[in-house]
Amino acid sequence: MKLIRGDDTDITVTLLQDDAPFDLSQIARIDLHAKDRSRIVIQLSTTDNSIEIVGGEIVLHFDRALTCGALWRQAAYDMQIVIGTKVQTVLSGTIELVHDITEVQLE
């Protein structure tokens, strides 16, 4: 996954199970954490609407404030879902943070 530092970015994820769309209707919660070498640098969750279930897809909302001024360039991440009392990791990988040159200040 690639993000540009300081940008608002939405990424849509479609989960598959046995080559068919995963049933998202039973999901109580979704969390995504990204960690550079020693610390959590990004946290998204359905509890704060930074992750949303829209139809049959999951939308990850990366607000620009999450990466604005960040110095890290790579972070490992995983995404977990909660169904009832079960927790399942459904996605993992690396976030590459491309450092921007232009820094726009919104008023």
Q: Residue 107: its pLDDT value, please?
A: 67
Q: How many Å apart are CA 107 and CA 31, to the nearest integer?
A: 30
Give the pair of three-digit tokens for residue 3: 């993000």
pLDDT tens digits, residue range 29-43? 999 999 998 899 999
Q: Look at the pTM and tell me if it is higher than 0.75.
A: yes
Predicted confidence band at 19 (pLDDT cuts at 50, 70, 90)?
Answer: confident
57 - beta bridge partners?
54
Predicted confidence band at 77 (pLDDT cuts at 50, 70, 90)?
Answer: very high
End-to-end CA distance of the chain: 29
Sign of CA dihedral 2, 81, 50, 45: negative
Give the DSSP letter of residue 50.
S
